[in-house]
Structure 1
Amino acid sequence: MTVVTLMWEARAADGRGADLLAWARAQHLPGGPLRRETFTAPQDRVLVLTWWDAPYDAELPELPDPPAALVTRAVHRWRFASHGTD
């Protein structure tokens, strides 16, 4: 099985961290990932990781950009290939 992890990270506008977190958690991803985790960090950052049983270059659903009023900059996105756990 090939596992691909998609990472989505955004920084909330001042005072909007809870709103950005709620928005991210409410987003539905068609097909459903194997696993999905949502994290927060200082400076009102929200991080969502999703794991998919798919080839690295597969077309996969990703979280969209949030409304501009919720963020201070463009969303960062990365794709990773798993090499197992140690």
Structure 2
Amino acid sequence: MIVRMWEARSRAAVFDEFLAWVCEKGVPEIEGHPQHVRSEIFSSTDYRVVVISRWHRDPLELPAPPARLVARSPHAWDFAEVDR
């Protein structure tokens, strides 16, 4: 299982539009992939959105959000569960 964490910060004035884009366009675009297991979306009070997606293998990138909605480019990291 691969866990991808995707994070982006929105411009304050368009945060609601950015969050709607993530929920209605960005995440749905990856959810139909056969390796996708599930995704969760989180938001913060400082206009950040984090998407945690789980994959059997070969995670897809979220599409790039419209530049006018973000304060900086998104970042993504892949993680694997640690056996303990």
TM bucket, shorter chain: 0.7 to 0.9
**Residue 66 of structure 2 aligns with which residue?**
67
**Residue 82 of structure 1 aligns with which residue?**
81
How many residue pairs were aligned?
79
The runs of at least 4 consecutive aligned structure 1 residues that moved more than 4 Å come to none
Matches within 5 A, 1:1-86: 3-26=1-24, 27=26, 28-29=29-30, 30-31=32-33, 33-54=36-57, 58=58, 60-83=59-82
**TM-score after normalising by structure 2:** 0.83
- Report the residue type matching 2:60 in the other structure: P
Q: Which runs of 5+ in 2 are unaligned?
A: none
Root-mean-square deviation over aligned CA pairs: 1.6
**TM-score after normalising by structure 1:** 0.81
- Report the residue type matching 1:71 in the other structure: V
- Report the residue type matching 1:9 in the other structure: E
